[in-house]
Every structure is written in structure tokens, then in C-alpha cells.
Amino acid sequence: MEKPIISVVIPVYNAERFIRQCVESVLAQTFQDFEIILVNDGSTDDSGRICDQLAQEDARIGVYHQENGGATRARALGVSNAQGEWINFVDADDTLPSDSLEVLHAPTLTHEYGMVLGRIKATPNTKDRLESAEKFRHSMVRHRYGAYPHSKIIRRSLFDRSVFEIPREINFFEDWLMLIRLTFKNTQDVLWINKKVYNYNEENTDSCTNNFKHTADYYLHFMKYFFDSIPDDVQNEYLEDSIKARIYILKRGFLPTKNKWRKTQFHYNLLDDIKKSRTQLSKSTALMLSTNDFEWTLFKILYKIKTLKK
């Protein structure tokens, strides 16, 4: 049997209500040169049995079972057993539009890409965008694109063990770390396609994510692995991007705003890096980062903006 062009890797954990529909959406693709790798991540419901049954129904489906280790470990096992030139990740409770793989793969027939990215929702009047490997690294570090593994194809040759060496306690934004590491291994252009290639199941939300407690201590710990994901010799080059990334975390409200993150080590480290890099901040961002009463805040903002513009 010839090797498939695309390996679709699907981590499965307690997804008995969704996994069959997910797999059927892949099997119904207009592009048919693929394999499906299901990784049952220690499910306690009927998911494992359903995965085995699906594999018996179609020879293109392979199943692996592991003790519960989280989505990152499940994806690592799937990729290690993949045969395709490209890797495509799908969550077990989501589905693919019928032309998803065709849309993502077609551009690779005429140009050498390291990754091809699609959208969960196409944006009107937006053109496809080509970025060099270097520019895309900056974009991914600062979270300009959705830092999730799905809705894209990634060259299998970019994956190695280090991509997945993320501790279990990093269980929010772990996909972001994986993608940052992949971008620093990639040396080819990256294409962003303004077409919908993924159906995200908004009705089914991960209870672990919903119950996740966002704290300054967690993000301080997260940033350690964030910086570890950037090669040492270019850390300074990506310092401003890392500042934008932390501001993104704050602006998205992942940390409570009422003195839950102010005057923490996460906050102090961010302010130190802003000063070191002379990153220019908007007035609203400077206000958000302030730590004192209102009058002193206004003074500090004006002084900071003046200083950063020098």
C-alpha cells in the first residue's frame, strides 16, 4: 500500500457522542489520499470501542490506545505513527467541510510550503496571504493567528520529539507552544488561505478548559516554556513579540483585571521587558498595565509613552 499524502490525526477522549460524525466528515472528503489515525486517550466512555469499530469498517483508519495523557501526548503518538507527507489535526467533537483537505493541499502542488492554514470562518474581502518562514515566526509568537493545531496542514518532517515536550501541567495554550516550536523548525513559506476548512463545535466545550483557573502564577510558569520554545540565539529578536503575546493574554481577559495580576511577578517581568525593548504602547494598554491610583497612573502613562518614543 502506497503512503498517503495526508495523515489526519484525531485525539479522542470521552467523545462517544461525536467521534463517528467526525470520522465520517473526513471519509467524505473530496480529496481522498489520506489516512486517519485515532488515538484513544484513556477514554472512560465507549469511545475506544467505537474507534475500533470504525477501523474495522475502513482500512484507512488506524487506532492506538494509550493511558490518559492529554491531547498533546495523543497527538505525539498519532504523528509518530503517521505515514503522510502532511499532518492535519482534527478534534474528535468537530468536523471538516467536504472540501477541507482539497483546499489545503491544492496550493502545495505549485509551491513549496511548510504549512498551509485555513480558517474556521472566512473573512469577507480578505485575500490569501503568503508569509516567509521568518515573518510567520514573529506572527505566531505574538499570537496574530489562531494558535490552535486544527484547520491547517503541516509538513510531517517538521515534527520531532521536542515539539511535544510540554509538561502536563501546561494545559492551556499548550497548542500555542507546539506551533511556535514548529515555526522555528520550518524554513519554507507559509500560506494563509481565506477559506473555511473547519467546523468548530461551539455547543460542546471542554469542561477542563471551562474549569481552568487562570492565574498570574500559571502564566508566569507558562512563559518559561514560551521562551524555551524560542531558540536562545534569537531571544532578543522576539522580545517585542513576547510582549505583544502577554498583552494579548491580558486583553483577552484570561487574567482577572481587578488587582489579580497587578504587582505579580508576571506583571513586573512584562514591565521590565517593555522598558528593555522600548516597545511603544497604546494609551489604553499603558493604562491597563498601571499599578497605582488614578492621578499617579495618568502621570506614569504620559511619562512612559514619552520615554518609549525616544
pLDDT in tens, 10-52: 999 999 999 999 999 999 999 999 999 999 999 999 999 999 9
Question: What distance in Å separates the CA atoms of residue 215 and residue 111, rounded to the nearest whole number?
Answer: 43
For 212-251, how does the pLDDT look when each residue is reduced to its tens digit (9 = 90+)?
Answer: 888 999 999 999 999 999 999 999 999 999 999 999 888 7
* DSSP 8-state secondary structure symbol assigned to residue 84: S
Question: What distance in Å separates the CA atoms of residue 94 and residue 172, rounded to the nearest whole number?
Answer: 19
Percent of the chain past pLDDT 70, that is, above it, reads 89
**Of the candidates 28, 83, 19, 84, which has an alpha carbon nearest to the alpha carbon of residue 55?**
19
**Of the candidates 250, 176, 168, which has an alpha carbon nearest to the alpha carbon of residue 214?**
250
Question: What distance in Å separates the CA atoms of residue 176 and residue 179, rounded to the nearest whole number?
Answer: 5
Residue 94 grid coordinates: 468537530
How many CB atoms lie under 10 A from the CB of residue 307? 11
> Inter-axis angle of helices 174-185 and 133-141, to 10 degrees?
160
Domain covering 6-209 in this structure, CATH number: 3.90.550.10
Question: What distance in Å separates the CA atoms of residue 243 and residue 237, rounded to the nearest whole number?
Answer: 12
The owner of cell 500555542 is 176
What residues does each domain of the chain span?
Answer: 6-209, 213-308
Question: What distance in Å separates the CA atoms of residue 180 and residue 139, rounded to the nearest whole number?
Answer: 10
User: What pLDDT is stored for residue 150 in this prediction?
Assistant: 94
Q: Please give the single-letter amino acid code of residue 43.
A: S
For 254-301, how does the pLDDT look when each residue is reduced to its tens digit (9 = 90+)?
Answer: 776 656 777 889 989 999 999 999 888 887 777 777 755 453 345 445
Phi, psi of 61, deg, nearest 5: -105, 125
For residues 144-179, one letter each, b for 16 or more C-beta atoms within 10 angstroms of the residue's C-beta and e for the rest, the string is: ebbbbbbbbbbbeebbeeebbebeeebbbbbbbbbb
User: What pLDDT is stored for residue 300 in this prediction?
Assistant: 47
Question: What distance in Å separates the CA atoms of residue 84 and residue 307, rounded to the nearest whole number?
Answer: 52
User: What pLDDT is stored for residue 305 in this prediction?
Assistant: 63
User: What pLDDT is stored for residue 301 in this prediction?
Assistant: 56
Question: What distance in Å separates the CA atoms of residue 116 and residue 132, rounded to the nearest whole number?
Answer: 12
The strand pair at 86-89 and 152-155 is best described as antiparallel
Confidence of residue 122 (pLDDT cuts 50, 70, 90): confident
User: What pLDDT is stored for residue 251 in this prediction?
Assistant: 78
Question: What distance in Å separates the CA atoms of residue 289 and residue 29, rounded to the nearest whole number?
Answer: 48
Q: Are 33 and 5 in contact (CB under 8 A)?
A: yes
